[in-house]
Every structure is written in C-alpha cells, then in structure tokens.
A and B are shown apart, each in its own frame.
Chain A
Amino acid sequence: MHPLYGTTAVAGIGLRQYKRGASPLPEQGVLVEAILAACADAGFDPAEVDGFVSYGDDKNEPVRLMPALGTRELKWSSVVWGGGGGGVAGAFGLAAAAILSGQASAVIVFRALVEGSSGRLSAAVMAHHLNDHMLAAGIVAPAQVCAIRANRMYEHHGVPASVAEELVRASYYHGSRNPEAVAYGSEFDLEEMRNSRWIAEPFRLFDCSRENDGAAAFLMVSAERARDLKRPPAYLLGCANGAEKGWGDLLENDDEALYATAGFRPIARRLYAETGLSPADIDVVQLYENFSAQGVASLIDHGFCTYENVAEVVRFDNLIAPTGKLPVNTGGGNFAQGFIHGIGTAYEAVKQLRGESANPVPGARTCLLAGGPGAPTVSSAIFANEIP
C-alpha cells in the first residue's frame, strides 16, 4: 500500500468568506481567524500547530503567523510551486509528507486572499506567468489563456460547448442551497447566463469564477491522532502533483494531444494507481472550475467521461446531489460557493465526508478533490471518511 493511503487526515476546518473587497480584516487577520476556527473545530490547541503549507503564491509566510497563533515552534513551512490554483490538492500531500516523515506533527493547509491586502488574484496569477510573447498577443488574463484551450477542445476535439452550461448550472444549483455560499438563496437564471456579456470567447461572464475575500484552513494530523480529536476524520487516501513531458509552461507548445486537456492525465493515473481506486469508486467530486471548459476538461482527464461521451455524463441531472450519479461541487464550487483561489472546494470535500454538506450525497465515502485545471503544475487528492 502507498504510504499516503489513509495515514493522515483532516481533523479540523475553518472558513471565513466575504465579498471581494469587503473583508473586515486584513489578509493576515482573516487567515488567523480561519486557522483558529480549524483548531477549535478539532478541539486542538493552536499553539501546538508546528507546520504550514500553502500554494498559489500565497503571501502569508507562516513565521509571521506565530505571534497571533501563539505557535511554540515552527518545524515546517512550505508551498506548492505555481501561480495558479494547480497546487491546492498537492498542499495536502505536502502536509502529509511532513507528518509521515516526522518533520512536523500538526500541519495547517491554508490559502488566504483579501483584495485590499494583496490586490486582485487574477492579476497576481498573471504576474507569475506574463511575458512579452503573451503581452504582445493581448493575452494578459487567466480567462484568455483558458479560452484559447477551450476553443481547441470544442472545435478540434468535438466536445459540445453546451456541456459547460450543465456544469455551471449544477454549481449554482448547489450554491443556492448552501448557506455558506455566495449564491445562497438566489435562483439561477439560465437566460441571464446565456445573455451575459462576453469576456473572451467562448467564455461569457458566467463561465468564469469570480473572486472573494477570505481564507480557509485545514488542520492535518496523523490518522491515529485524528481519531482522538473532536470531529470525524477525513482521511487522505492519495495525492498526486506535477506535470508530464509535453505539458507545462511551454508557451502554448504542449503536445498536441495534451493541449486541450486540463493537465491531469498523469495525476489521475498516479492517483488511481496509488489508491487502488478508479473513477467508479469516487462518490462525489469537488472540482476546481476556474472556467467552465476547464472544469469539463478536468472531469475528462480524471476518467469520468471521454471526448466522445462527455455530453451523456456532464448533464445537470447527473451532476447534482442527491440523485445524480456524478455529484459535482456540492457546495457550489468556485462559481457559486465562492472563490478563494479554490480552497473552498477542499472545505466542501471535508463537509461532505462528515455528512455536513448542505447538499449531502447519500452514503458518500470517497471524495475526489481535483485542483486548479490548466495550470502548468496541477494536483488532485482523494479523501474518505473510512479507509476502504
């Protein structure tokens, strides 16, 4: 069995989320609140946290959190490389690596984003990637980068563009029923989506995630220790992070067969091989959708459907809890739950496995967390509420 399989767990979660620009506290303050909430959730003394992991160029260096948290000793602080959200799931693998190798024992995985402190996320992501080739082509935003790939997937690989709408509707359906979601209580208007303004073809406004202020934190400990804490553990069964040859930061020169993917083929391959699971064993998916088409590409990469049968699988009825066979983004996802660089998808993964989701999937035991699609480095993880 792979060393990651069921040996660590998320024992506590905390989320603070606000409208973009509306955070009552600066970024570090919101993050501290989220970490304290995660520790309180687990019944764990925050001063005992000895490790921190983040991703996506988070600006909050863990050593600076020590005074507010009362941290006794910092033993592990690390990030997953990459400017986009590709590293969100990989961050849990990094935390597990620290715990399993004895370099830390209680690790917080976090992401914080407050516009007033660190500006717009889209600008920060692009600052990580921009070069003169892109600037001269007028390609300056994640939406455009993903739009070019989306057009290739639709036009060359024959994926019907209508599937994007199915995914967006499912996210909003779940979000409208989740009290913690930005879309809570609002009826989704299909015509409004279809008539929303173009951003970069094929994306209209509703194909794009929209940023929130906030932070989320997850307390990870060994599986054994998690069982002694207050809440039911969400075990990490597996995690994979990286990129294969022919994919990456290649100025659009990825292998032709990989170009329109979301970059997850090697990630899914490893994740399933190392856990002994297959797509059929996944009860619910939390899917990072920066843009609608990339969410669809991610589902294809993870083996839930193919270019050929995508329209049969990515259907609104099939994607919603409790009746769909492939419930996706049961909290509302980045589109409708909220977008703090994707960390909300991990939050819903744990809620779902604890039976606390606003849109529960009956009997759900396993949850796939698919990280930010289309990034040069991507990652995914599988969590479970029991070790199969």
Chain B
Amino acid sequence: MDANDGADAPYWNGLAEGRLMLPRCGGCGDWLWPAVSRCGPCGSETIEWVERSMRATIFSWTRTWHRFGFTESLDLPFVSIVATVDDCGIRLLGRLDDPDQVDPAIGEAIAGRIGATRVEGRDIPTIIWSRG
C-alpha cells in the first residue's frame, strides 16, 4: 500500500516537504483527482503539479466511535472528512480536529496543517483540518 510510486507520488512528496501539491491537466486545465497519467476528457498526457493553499470547505464527514483495525493510533472518537480544496474543487480525505465534538457542517470553511497518521508502524502524511 506504499503509494509513493503511483501517479499521486508528487502529492505525497509535496506533503513530506510541507506543501499541498495537486495535479492539473496541461492541455485543458482541468484539475484531476485521483491522480492519473492521462486526462480522459482531452487526452493530454501533460500533468502539471500546482501548489494550493490548505484552505477548504467540508463536503461531508463521519465521527468514528468503533475501534476498527488500523486506527489504533487515533483517539476515539475521531472525525474524518471529505474536504473540497479552495480554488480547484479537488476533494481530499482527511481528519478534522474535534476537541468539543461539535458536529461539522457541510460547507463550513476549514484550514489545514500537515500532520501524519501512524498505521502499523508507518507515519502516513495527511492534512489535519481545523475550523476557521
């Protein structure tokens, strides 16, 4: 499951360097996610990786209470979200700080910082989002 040799390698390398890098088609300019080697609609194989700021809105969410395998490093309950990144519309999976267990609202503005989730002895970089 190591993803660093896939089409999304620049995303993971970007997070490791402290930046959010996302792919855009060099032909038609469409944002492409999941990362691909070719833009289906226009056929271009030129993929540009562009830095985006870690600002987004909440697209949807769940708060997990059950201890599923692979989540051992996370305190229960924890909130996972789908975040729509500003100025590109790409949706990313991530985690949301949930100190007071206030239910997230769809459309709510959030800001991210780069963190990591430890899974089976491996730190996977991810964006941890907070409100405001």
Contact = CB atoms under 8 A, between A and B. Distances in A.
A149 interface: yes
B68 A136 contact: no
Given A137-B80, A138-B78, A252 B59 contact: yes
Contact of B124 (A136, A152, A156, A251): A136
A151 B63 CA distance: 10
A131 interface: yes
Interface in A104-138: 123, 130-138
Contact of B68 (A141, A156, A250): A141
B82 A148 contact: yes
A32 interface: no
Contact of B66 (A134, A143, A156): A143
Contact of B61 (A143, A148, A199): A148
A134 B69 CA distance: 13
A244 interface: no
A135 B92 CA distance: 12
A202 B116 CA distance: 26
Contacts of A148: 60-62, 80-82
B69 A123 contact: yes
A144 B78 CA distance: 11
Interface string B67-86: 01111001001101110000
B66 A137 contact: no
Contacts of B64: 138, 144, 199-201
A251 B62 contact: no
Nearest to B123: A136
A147 interface: yes
A137 B2 contact: no
A141 B80 CA distance: 12
A197 B91 CA distance: 30
A356 interface: no
A201 B63 contact: yes
A180 B76 CA distance: 37
Nearest to A145: B62
Interface residues of A, number: 34
A191 interface: no
B94 interface: yes
B3 A132 contact: yes
Contacts of A252: 59, 82, 91-93
B62 A151 contact: yes
Given A152-B106, A155-B106, A251-B91, A132 B124 contact: yes
A139 B66 CA distance: 12
A250 B78 CA distance: 23
A277 interface: no
Most chain-A Cβ atoms within 10 A of its Cβ — which of B61, B80, B94? B80
A123 B70 CA distance: 11
Contacts of A259: 59-60
B1 A135 contact: yes
Contacts of B66: 141, 143, 197-200
A140 interface: yes
A143 B64 CA distance: 9
B60 A149 contact: yes
A68 B63 CA distance: 47
A197 B65 contact: yes
B93 A152 contact: no
B125 A136 contact: yes
B59 A137 contact: no
B28 interface: no
A215 B33 CA distance: 38
Q: Which of B33, B82, B92, B119 has the most CB of A within 10 A?
A: B82
Contact of A136 (B8, B91, B93): B93
Nearest to B71: A138
10 contacts: A131-B3, A132-B2, A138-B78, A138-B95, A148-B80, A155-B60, A197-B66, A199-B66, A201-B62, A253-B90
Interface of B: 1-3, 8, 12, 33-34, 59-66, 68-71, 74, 77-78, 80-82, 90-95, 103, 105-106, 116-117, 119, 124-126
Interface of A: 123, 130-141, 143-144, 147-149, 151-152, 155-156, 197-202, 249-253, 259
Given A152-B60, A199-B66, A249-B34, 10 more contacts: A123-B69, A132-B1, A137-B94, A137-B117, A138-B117, A140-B69, A140-B70, A144-B64, A151-B106, A259-B60
